[in-house]
Amino acid sequence: MSQPESAVPKKKVLFRGRSNAAVANSNAEGEDSPEFEPFGPMPRGLPPLAEYLDIREVNMVNDINKKEHHTSLFSNALLIVRRAQEFQIRVTFNRAYEPAKDQFLLEFVIGSSPQMSKGTYIPVFPDPEKTRAWRGRVLDSMDNMVTVGITPAPDCIVGRFRTYVAVITPFGIRRTRRDSKRDVYVLFNPWASDDAVFLKEEEERGEYVLEESGILYHGEASDISARPWNFGQFEYGVLDACLYVMDRAQMPIVNRGDPIKVARKASAAVNSRDDDGVLVGNWSGDYSFGVAPTSWTSSVEILVTYASSRQPVNYGQCWVYAAVFNTFLRCLGIPARVVTNFYSAHDNDGNLKTDIILDEAGKVDRGRTKDSIWNYHCWNECYMTRPDLPQGFGGWQVVDATPQETSDGLYRCGPASVQAIKHGQICFPFDAPFIYAEVNSDVVFYKRDQSGNVVPVKVNSTHVGRKVLTKAIGRDQYDDITSQYKFAEGTEEERTVLQKAEEYGMGRTKVNYPETDVQVEILAQEVSVGDNFKLALEFKNLSGEQRTVNAFVNGYVVYYTGVTSDEVKSKTLTVTLDPWQTERVSVDVQADDYMSRLVEQCNLHFIVTGRVEQDSQIVSAMRVITLHVPELVVKVIGEPRVSELTLVSVEFTNPFQFSLDNVYLRMDGPGLMSPKIKHFSLISPKASEIWSDSFTPRRAGPTKLMVTLDCAALRQVYSQVVVNVKP
Amino acid sequence: MSQPESAVPKKKVLFRGRSNAAVANSNAEGEDSPEFEPFGPMPRGLPPLAEYLDIREVNMVNDINKKEHHTSLFSNALLIVRRAQEFQIRVTFNRAYEPAKDQFLLEFVIGSSPQMSKGTYIPVFPDPEKTRAWRGRVLDSMDNMVTVGITPAPDCIVGRFRTYVAVITPFGIRRTRRDSKRDVYVLFNPWASDDAVFLKEEEERGEYVLEESGILYHGEASDISARPWNFGQFEYGVLDACLYVMDRAQMPIVNRGDPIKVARKASAAVNSRDDDGVLVGNWSGDYSFGVAPTSWTSSVEILVTYASSRQPVNYGQCWVYAAVFNTFLRCLGIPARVVTNFYSAHDNDGNLKTDIILDEAGKVDRGRTKDSIWNYHCWNECYMTRPDLPQGFGGWQVVDATPQETSDGLYRCGPASVQAIKHGQICFPFDAPFIYAEVNSDVVFYKRDQSGNVVPVKVNSTHVGRKVLTKAIGRDQYDDITSQYKFAEGTEEERTVLQKAEEYGMGRTKVNYPETDVQVEILAQEVSVGDNFKLALEFKNLSGEQRTVNAFVNGYVVYYTGVTSDEVKSKTLTVTLDPWQTERVSVDVQADDYMSRLVEQCNLHFIVTGRVEQDSQIVSAMRVITLHVPELVVKVIGEPRVSELTLVSVEFTNPFQFSLDNVYLRMDGPGLMSPKIKHFSLISPKASEIWSDSFTPRRAGPTKLMVTLDCAALRQVYSQVVVNVKP
């Protein structure tokens, strides 16, 4: 029983007395099973094996299996099946199989140190009466060929299994030599009612599992932009990259059948913090050592680069994290979608307040205001049962791979039940209070008086979590799913939920301020980058008396994270309102004010705060104006056909008075091409450039071709065209 | 509003657009507040401040405050108070304070970027009507001296605050210059009914907050050893080290008032994994680069070394983690105790099974058995309300700082409500399923048949979590608290809890094996290391027929983690039992069999497995025999008095035939000394050594002097004597 010292791996030396075996946490590793395993001491010479079955051929029946298991779309030569659903393997022997006399079995093995009790070694006998975890039966037996039907357990491990066929003889077990071409990927199965990720409607599975192109919503709640994305979960190399993500994160193999654990682990592993995961976050504006987050078109390039370079990929921001995570989930068979929350409270670790400090005059004190509200934030939802929670909290679960500074101290988030968040039942794992705060925080305005004393003067409880959107099923439009996160404002249910959440420690700020009878609003409008425009304010006097408002209008360039860069506008207004009067006031904003100061995604944040002379009441309003960027004109020439060269052109005109340097264009499309990149070192003011290129579609059917343009002075420029590839 | 580029700290460059300000996460950092803060543009020349109050002296009234706040035991010159309880500060002005005319306030500030709304800047006016978070009032005003009573909020941040006294003038605020001698530590308050860590009974607070020496239980469930430990939470440097632990783990200051978050963070920060926390784990037997886990006597040396070296300390195992964590919690004022769970299931990520694989003959297959059960495992409980959970789950909470391989993928654990674990309500955070499994796992025996098929043949559901112990209040004995973790075996409640846990996904193995009518037990016995002894087995035939048992007896040297080292005994027995007969059989074990193979803590693990000839039923039994180590004889000479030199001697005799090399002795005692170390390079066979030394007690009262001896061949040798120091 003594083990030689050298058998102990060096790096594990601190754990010699700690555990019997290292936890198997790599799908890529694992020993080949021996071709002959004797039962006891062998007689001299070769055993008389001739009379026993001999295996001539093993056929994985790829075409039928992949069609029935909804895995035909994968660009992958190996068999891919889904659990809880029968697939077939055809074995040819040297002679006819005689059940009364012959004994054979199929073995599926994953990772190192396989054990039956851990579900990492799975013997399947062609006999339903010998069913252990996976069921086996003879579907057909003809001449020397036996077709075996195999049904993986509905909770079995997901990943790449090694397949063996073994024959039992009185002397030992003879098995086929390892052949990686016989490996089989087993995935989650949203089509099987006893799988934890079962989804009832075929059209839902079509969108949330099989759809490769998607839309990421961003911009502002009343001025929404829709960016196309190639999830590409079936593209060549993506499935292996997804398994590598789990291997790299050292996720124990035994946990990989549980969609809760897989989603939670991946929420950590899609970002590079803590664990050298897929994407490095960067919000600095300087992307010289990688690709700008706005430049990507597809998860494919990111995942495949990660798996081949074995290094985190530069760079991501929230929608990139969400898009890559979505690919990961759909690829493994967990139904998933990207959602966008407009005005998302952040960095406050489940605190339900975002603080804005006003100075004595009522103007925002930028130096003292530290919190920020993201204009939008993207995360994912994935669909699964939650046996770890009381009934009623299955269904869509929030997961978020964007590294947030203080979510329970770690860079991962979820899964948290959307139902639980809606009902304020935030006592259940994982990270529900944090997500609840992202959609429900109050914006609290404080006034700082002379003695440094800070008192809350106004609470806006509707600004945060204004709108939650996701792409609709089968259409390029959004579904407003805000009502899945919260009850309608002012309803009885809403009050009950707030109370419930408060019981769980989500304290709210109570402010006793006089009812306001003067209101101000910044009106929504669409503005293109480079335009001069008039910011429209509407003041309303709801009282029967005259009111005079002294207001400050301030405009700032902001990152989409709500972090403020330069001030571009500052104006003081005095507006006198007659009883019950509504008055519109406009403030001129010149392109010159902001053009040289723009950062990243061209957002201007306007805040109006003011005080009513007659009674000192505070009025305030905020709005982000998203500056629309110029368009790309994408043209596909002719009718694309499978395996035929197709021409495409992309045209872009620089609308500005200044030149654009170091411009990258990217083109991509599921089933159409691998990502293509085009670089222009300079596009002169008002100049047009055309990029002509070609591609060869790989499969028939409708798909999308997407193009992005990105340079330091101009980001989030993109376009897409629907392409219907003929066979 | 534009910020110069150089104002952006270099290391944060990736987050420039990410957040307005870095999250304050260091108590050690923070800017001094200015001595004069003008309200607006100042008139030329010095302002006429003479007529306003001028501060001459600030007295922190240490003696009274510390006595009333139960912090007198701290070896720390600064003021230490507990929240939700009034303390006083005495301010001397240049003239008498006139409330109608003069305005002054006290300010308490913690960390960088202090904000009132975050509780990091706290103004306190000497006027209950101006109460914000903390209440202030004038307790006494006499001549030029005002005594202010200050009551910190019951949920305020815990840590070291900077204190200022500020006078408000029409021109601005004048405040005292920063003086670190006026810093005040604010701690949790188990004496205050509105603090989340309130504990009702004075004797409980005496043990779980104020008691500095403790006992760590180890060994085997029926042969328990009690190791003394100096928690030393009041020793010089320990409080600052505990704050450093949170700073080093980058715990946001705003979270440091919540005992749930503090305990959770510390469960990660007490081990070095992930975050360069306090202690490096080492179970290898090779401790050449540090101190052997068995050698420590005290948390003080570990914490103070960590804080001064700013490097993780070598080395810890579970009881060291638990002891240091206990010091941390008691030091900050969170009631805490160390508990020991005998036969603790591990490394199975909330799986409720520990698998033991038997070969065809019924003998344990060591090569295929990967799981291990720790002979014992130490963790902590801390006492607090749980507002984040439904009612009824407050009270004792499990936290565990030992880095376990797969607790939700991260090296931290808890707090998990002990009540929730007892009732199977494992759906609530944090990590309840993992702890539930540690006390409730089944041991499943599998038999592996010829074709490699593995079937469960026997389940032992009572082996794991046999006993949970903690030191009793005010006595050096243990309290058996097993019933706080589980209902009695066989009760209706027990069955309900198992069902409940099963609903939450903690599946159990159901085995249909015939009722056994033959039982075997390994009888408990006390053995000293170096003894020859007879292992006593008891076979019982509960049937009316004759039974013949073919049994294998195997003995292994094991680490306390259950990991098996060498086999030391292997014997085959055949026992024939008449109807209803009980038969005792003994197996000789010679010192020579095991002495040269012992590892670490001298445990021998015996397993008996066998099969009954008549009906093939499987019988099995397991027991760990802890080998008792020789004693240290510690003598304190004379009657120790405060500040007087006292002599002490430690005597040890090597009972073995071989010499002991590189022997370290350590001596320690709360209030008596800093740890002393003595090294013997060799103690010859049968030789005695005496270590004579001296110490000077620092305070009066009963305390303990503890000594350990440690070398590679002999660990867990210790002794303690009660010392009553006269004033």
**Chunked in runs of 10, what are the mean pLDDT values of chain B (727 residues)?**
35 52 81 81 58 90 97 96 98 93 93 87 90 92 95 97 92 88 97 97 97 94 92 96 94 93 92 86 88 94 96 95 98 98 75 77 76 89 94 94 62 87 90 88 81 77 92 96 92 86 74 77 90 94 93 87 83 94 94 83 86 86 89 93 95 91 93 92 94 94 93 90 94
- Output the pLDDT for position B343: 92
Domain containing residue B285: CATH number: 3.90.260.10
**Domain end call among A601, A628, A655:** A628
Give the tokens for residue A50. Answer: 């001739």
**B563 close contact with A: CB closer than 8 A:** yes
Domain containing residue B585: CATH number: 2.60.40.10
Tell me the nearest-neighbour CA distance from A697 into chain B, angstroms.
38
CA distance A197 to A342: 28
Q: Which amino acid is at B98?
A: E
Give the tokens for residue A217. Answer: 């919503």
**A128 and A227 both lie in a single domain:** no
Q: Is residue A15 part of a domain?
A: no
- Output the pLDDT for position B665: 95
A494 is in an annotated binding site: yes
Q: Which residue of B has its CA nearest to A597?
A: B2
CA geometry: angle at A324 spanning A323 and A327, to 5°? Answer: 90
**How many residues does this entry show for chain A?**
727
**Domain end call among B609, B628, B647:** B628
Q: Identify all chain A residues contacting B351, using CB atoms and an 8 Å cutoff.
A: 254
Q: Is residue A1 part of a domain?
A: no
Q: Which residue of A has its CA nearest to B166?
A: A451
**A666 and A603 both lie in a single domain:** no
Helix (H, G, I), strand (E, B) or coil at B673: strand
CA distance B23 to B254: 9
Range of the domain at B164: 36-187
**Domain end call among B503, B531, B559:** B503
Chain B from 230 to 269: CB within 8 A of any A CB? 249, 251-252, 254-255, 264-265, 268
- In this structure, the strands spanning A184-187 and A79-82 are parallel
B49 φ/ψ sector (left φ>0, alpha ψ -120 to 50, else beta) = alpha
Helix (H, G, I), strand (E, B) or coil at A91: strand
- In this structure, the strands spanning A172-175 and A673-683 are unpaired
Query: Are B81 and A427 in contact, with CB atoms under 8 Å apart?
Result: no
Query: Are A262 and A46 in contact, with CB atoms under 8 Å apart?
Result: no
Give the tokens for residue A720. Answer: 């897409």
**B608 has which bridge partners?**
B553, B621
CA distance A367 to B77: 36
- Count Cβ atoms below 10 Å from residue A143 Cβ, excluding itself: 10
Residues of A taking part in catalysis: 318, 377, 400
Kindly give, in sequence order, each residue whose CB lies less than 8 Å from that of residue A79, ignoring residues fewer than 6 positions away.
Answer: A60, A61, A62, A65, A66, A87, A182, A183, A184, A185
**B530 and B547 both lie in a single domain:** yes
Q: What is the mean pLDDT of each run of 10 residues along chain A (727 residues)?
A: 35 52 82 81 58 90 97 96 98 93 93 87 90 91 95 97 92 88 97 97 97 94 92 96 94 93 92 86 88 94 96 95 98 98 75 77 76 89 94 94 62 87 90 88 81 77 92 96 92 86 74 77 90 94 93 87 83 94 94 83 86 86 89 93 95 91 93 92 94 94 93 89 94
CA distance B38 to B34: 10
- Count Cβ atoms below 10 Å from residue B569 Cβ, excluding itself: 17
CA distance A538 to A586: 9
Q: Is residue A195 part of a domain?
A: no
Looking only at Cα atoms, what is the longest distance across chain A?
A: 112
From the candidates B70, B377, B423, B605, give the one annotated as an active-site residue: B377
Q: Across the interface, do A406 and B23 touch by the CB < 8 Å criterion?
A: yes
Kindly give, in sequence order, each residue whose CB lies less than 8 Å from that of residue A25, ignoring residues fewer than 6 positions away.
Answer: A111, A247, A250, A251, A252, A253
Q: Is residue B509 part of a domain?
A: no
CA distance B330 to B204: 12
Please count the structural domains in chain A. 4
Convert A242-278 into a string of H (helix), E (strand) and C (coil).
HHHHHHHCCCCHHHCCCHHHHHHHHHHHCECCCCCCC
Q: Identify all chain A residues contacting B505, using CB atoms and an 8 Å cutoff.
A: 387-388
Query: Are A395 and A380 in contact, with CB atoms under 8 Å apart?
Result: no
Q: Is residue A12 part of a domain?
A: no
Give the rounded distance of the alpha carbon of B95 from its chain centre. 52
Q: Across the interface, do A567 and B2 touch by the CB < 8 Å criterion?
A: yes
**A363 and A427 both lie in a single domain:** yes
Chain A from 16 to 55: CB within 8 A of any B CB? 16-21, 23, 37, 39
Tell me the nearest-neighbour CA distance from B556 into chain A, angstroms.
9
**B328 and B248 both lie in a single domain:** yes
- In terms of Cα–Cα distance, which of A278, A256, A324 is closest to A26? A256
- Output the pLDDT for position A2: 36
Q: Is residue B510 part of a domain?
A: no
Does the annotation mark B593 as catalytic?
A: no
CA geometry: angle at B51 spanning B48 and B54, to 5°? Answer: 100
Q: Across the interface, do B389 and A255 touch by the CB < 8 Å criterion?
A: no
CA distance B274 to B271: 8
Tell me the nearest-neighbour CA distance from A473 into chain B, angstroms.
32
Query: Are A358 and A618 in contact, with CB atoms under 8 Å apart?
Result: yes
**A229 has which bridge partners?**
A214
CA distance A631 to A225: 12
- Can you spell out the DSSP letters for A121-150? EEEE-S-GGG-SSSEEEEEEEETTEEEEEE
- In this structure, the strands spanning B442-448 and B353-358 are parallel
Instruction: Name the helix (H) or strand (E) containing B497.
Output: helix B492-503
Helix (H, G, I), strand (E, B) or coil at B387: coil
**A470 has which bridge partners?**
A339, A479
Query: Are A601 and A552 in contact, with CB atoms under 8 Å apart?
Result: no
**B371 close contact with A: CB closer than 8 A:** yes
Chain B from 487 to 546: CB within 8 A of any A CB? 503-505
**A341 and A432 both lie in a single domain:** yes
Q: Is residue A9 part of a domain?
A: no
Cα dist from A703 to A603, A674, A721, whole Å: 31, 14, 9
Beta strands in B322-419 (DSSP E): 336-345, 353-358, 373-384, 395-399, 416-417
Q: Across the interface, do B286 and A13 touch by the CB < 8 Å criterion?
A: yes
Q: Is residue A4 part of a domain?
A: no
Give the tokens for residue B359. Answer: 């070969």
- Can you spell out the DSSP letters for A586-606? EEEE-HHHHGGG--TT-EEEE
Chain A from 445 to 484: CB within 8 A of any B CB? 446, 450-454, 456
Q: Across the interface, do B284 and A14 touch by the CB < 8 Å criterion?
A: yes
Give the tokens for residue A360. Answer: 């004595």
Of residues A39, A347, A369, nearest to B450 (C-beta): A39
- Output the pLDDT for position B394: 94
Whether omega before B429 lies within 30 degrees of 0, making that bond cis, reads: no
Does the annotation mark B218 as catalytic?
A: no
**A374 and A225 both lie in a single domain:** yes
Q: Across the interface, do A369 and B20 touch by the CB < 8 Å criterion?
A: yes
**B667 and B622 both lie in a single domain:** no
CA distance A357 to A367: 9
**A424 and A294 both lie in a single domain:** yes
Cα dist from A74 to A70, A203, A404, A671, B159, whole Å: 9, 19, 33, 10, 56
A61 φ/ψ sector (left φ>0, alpha ψ -120 to 50, else beta) = left
**A50 and A109 both lie in a single domain:** yes
**A118 and A248 both lie in a single domain:** no
Q: How is residue A320 annotated by DSSP? A: H
B282 is in an annotated binding site: no
Query: Are A643 and A691 in contact, with CB atoms under 8 Å apart?
Result: no
Kindly give, in sequence order, each residue whose CB lies less than 8 Å from that of residue A558, ignoring residues fewer than 6 positions away.
Answer: A375, A564, A565, A599, A603, A604, A605, A624
Q: If 0-12 CB within 10 Å is exposed, 13-18 middle and 19+ buried, where does residue A645 land?
A: exposed
**B388 and B335 both lie in a single domain:** yes
Q: Across the interface, do B561 and A18 touch by the CB < 8 Å criterion?
A: yes
